[in-house]
């Protein structure tokens, strides 16, 4: 019979396990054992108070890695960016048990221990497992903190109902280690071998990002609310996977991600020209919110107010992605983004076909936590094979990784994904 642990469903996966100072911390030992037996590489981070419930020696021995607690360790080794390295290293960060105190710290962006600092630096999905007394759990402050964490894209595993260490019976029991293990396996997509750490080594990747600006006169322009964050996250993630990445960006205040060649443009026409110059890329991720129309004429001087109504005549801009789709070469992968407020799935599917895309990521800016100017997004990924996958609400950086996992797996397999 298949064994859910011995079959090593977490082989090759890198997990951060945050352990905080609640009585359920004793269960962290079992959790580490399960993760290790499941094949994962586990780094334990403890809050200073967690050591009152379980020793770092126990968890360090079980995980095979030194447990990290303070952001400034006693034995300074001349480095202090471990939180950043770990935040980049992990595939998933689990906090179990998560006390009310740590939830509050995470919700408000504290970085006063290795655990909280790493959580701020982490690009991977987060799974928190609250464990505390019934009334602490139901207190509006804790509930508001959990809500806030959900709005950042954290998944909250609800605590169970039962006997609590306080002697009370109620909500607040940490889920059993086996349940947490099963959720982690689900979250990381067990058996999705091809997606693991999917590399883009040696690939040319072209990403577009941000809005475009279409000038009416020397001081005014038509644009949209795009900040560029989704495209920048994709460019950053692709560069980390070893690709040579060009990022053609409309006006955006975001810093250029490390290792990425950035080309700044203003108008849709300019973006079209820069994309055409790089159209041989192996993978094109077209995340820019390109203006569909531009003024027929741009006034040379500032348009004067006359007191009368004014009519603007607009002409369509080139559809940059459709142009790539028409000339798509074998082996090239094209990914578009569709922002739809109504009838999203049908419209996205039509766009995918009309523009000859391999994938389209659909999002609805009216949904909470999705769209422009927020750190999170929720997309549904549609593949040309007909496969559709609704991804959960996630930070845009985690979403970039999730999208690249799937896209890269289909590129590497060289076969239609999901068939």
Tokens of 105: 């710290």
- Contact between 288 and ligand C5P (CB under 6 A)? yes
Report the residue from 233, 268, 284, 407 that binds ligand C5P according to the rule CB under 6 A.
268
Q: Which is nearer to ligand C5P, 177 or 210 (CB)?
A: 210
Subset of residues 117 to 156 that bind ligand C5P, contact rule: CB under 6 A: none
As measured in angstroms, the least distance from the Cβ of 285 to ligand C5P is 8
Q: Using the minimum distance from each CB to ligand C5P, give the nearer residue, 14 or 406.
A: 406
Q: Which candidate in 75, 145, 224, 366 is catalytic? A: 224
Shortest distance, position 276 Cβ to ligand C5P, whole Å: 11
Q: Does 50 bind ligand C5P (CB under 6 A)?
A: no
Residues 299 to 358 in contact with ligand C5P, rule: CB under 6 A: 317, 319-321, 336-338, 351
Q: Considering CB under 6 A, how many residues would be counted as binding ligand C5P? A: 13
Tell me, letter by letter, the H, E, C secondary structure of the chain. CCCCCCCCCCCCCEEEEEECCCHHHHHHHHHHHHHHHCCCEEEEEECHHHHHCCCHHHHHHHHCCCCECCCCCCCCCCCCCHHHHHHHHCCEEEEEEECHHHHHHHHCCCCCCHHHHHHHHCCCCEEEEECCCHHHHHCHHHHHHHHHHHHCCCEECCCEEEECCCCCEEEEECCCHHHHHHHHHHHCCCCCHHHCCCCCCCCEEEEEECECCEECCCCCEECCCCCCHHHHHHHHHHHHCCCEEEEEECCCCCCCCCCEEEEECCCHHHHHHHHHCCCCCCEEEECCECCCEEECCCCCCCCCCCCCCCCCCEEECCCHHHHHHHCCCCCCEEEEEEECCCCHHHHHHHHHHHCCCCEEEEECCCCCCCCCCCCEECCEEEECCCCEEECCCEEHHHHHHHHHHHHHHHHHHCCCCCC
* 8 A C-beta contact, residue 221 and residue 213: yes
| Cα 172 to Cα 155: distance, rounded to the nearest angstrom | 16
Residue with Cβ nearer ligand C5P (17 or 265): 265
Rounded to whole angstroms, the Cα distance separating 406 from 383 reads: 10
Q: Which stretch binds ligand C5P (CB under 6 A): 22-30, 193-201, 286-294, 410-418?
A: 286-294
- Only one of the segments 61-69, 112-120, 162-170, 287-295 lies at the binding site for ligand C5P (rule: CB under 6 A); that segment is 287-295
Q: Which is closer to ligand C5P, CB of 145 or CB of 252?
A: 252
Q: What minimum distance in Å lies between the beta carbon of 216 and ligand C5P?
A: 18
In terms of CB distance, is 118 or 317 closer to ligand C5P?
A: 317
* Nearer Cβ to ligand C5P (302/354): 354
> Minimum distance between the CB of residue 286 and ligand C5P, rounded to whole angstroms?
4
To the nearest whole angstrom, how small is the minimum distance from the Cβ of residue 313 to ligand C5P? 18
* Minimum distance of ligand C5P from residue 294's CB (angstroms): 10
Known catalytic residue: 356?
no
Residue found by looking up tokens 């599917």 in the block = 349
Crossing angle of helices 177-187 and 28-37, in 10° steps, is 40
Between 18 and 336, CB nearer to ligand C5P: 336
292 binds ligand C5P (CB under 6 A): yes
Would you say 43 or 267 has its CB closer to ligand C5P?
Answer: 267
CB of 267 to ligand C5P, least distance (A): 11
Torsional sign, CA 282, 287, 293, 296: negative
Minimum Å gap between C-beta 399 and ligand C5P is 15
Residues classed as catalytic? 224
User: By the criterion CB under 6 A, which residues form the site for ligand C5P?
Assistant: 268, 286, 288, 290, 292, 317, 319-321, 336-338, 351
């Amino acid at each position: 019979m298949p064994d859910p642990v011995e079959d090593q469903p977490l082989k090759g996966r890198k997990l951060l396990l945050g352990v905080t100072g609640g009585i359920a911390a004793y269960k962290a030992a079992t959790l580490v054992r399960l993760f290790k037996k499941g094949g994962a590489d586990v780094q334990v981070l403890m809050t200073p108070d967690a050591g009152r419930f379980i020793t770092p020696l126990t968890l360090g021995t079980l995980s095979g890695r030194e447990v990290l607690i303070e952001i400034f360790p006693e034995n300074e080794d001349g480095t202090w960016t471990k939180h950043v390295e770990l935040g980049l290293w992990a595939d998933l960060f689990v906090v179990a048990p998560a006390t009310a105190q740590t939830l509050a710290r995470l919700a408000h962006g504290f970085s006063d221990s290795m655990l909280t600092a790493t959580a701020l630096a982490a690009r991977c999905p987060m799974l928190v497992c609250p464990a505390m007394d019934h009334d602490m759990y139901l207190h509006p402050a804790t509930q508001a903190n959990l809500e806030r964490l959900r709005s950042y894209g954290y998944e909250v595993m609800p605590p169970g109902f039962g006997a609590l260490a306080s002697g009370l019976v109620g909500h607040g029991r940490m889920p059993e280690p086996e349940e947490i293990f099963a959720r982690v396996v689900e979250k990381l997509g067990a058996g999705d071998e091809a997606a693991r750490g999917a590399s883009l080594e040696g690939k040319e990747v072209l990403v577009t990002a941000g809005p475009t600006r279409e000038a009416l006169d020397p001081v005014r322009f038509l644009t949209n609310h795009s900040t560029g964050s989704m495209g920048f996250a994709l460019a950053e993630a692709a560069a980390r996977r070893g690709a040579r990445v060009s990022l053609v960006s409309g006006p955006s205040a975001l810093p250029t991600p490390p290792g990425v060649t950035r080309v700044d443009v203003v108008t849709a026409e300019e973006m079209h020209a820069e994309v055409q110059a790089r159209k041989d890329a192996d993978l094109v991720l077209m995340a820019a919110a390109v203006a569909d129309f531009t003024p027929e004429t741009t006034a040379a001087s500032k348009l004067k107010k006359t007191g009368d109504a004014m009519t603007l005549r607009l002409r369509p801009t080139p559809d940059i992605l459709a142009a790539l789709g028409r000339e798509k070469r074998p082996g090239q992968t094209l990914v578009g983004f569709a922002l739809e407020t109504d009838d999203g799935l049908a419209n996205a599917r039509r766009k995918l076909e009309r523009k000859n895309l391999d994938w389209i990521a659909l999002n609805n800016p009216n949904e909470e936590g999705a769209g422009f100017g927020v750190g999170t997004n929720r997309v549904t990924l549609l593949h040309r094979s007909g496969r559709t996958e609704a991804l959960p609400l996630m930070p845009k950086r985690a979403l970039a990784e999730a999208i690249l996992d799937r896209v890269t797996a289909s590129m590497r397999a060289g076969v239609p994904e999901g068939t």
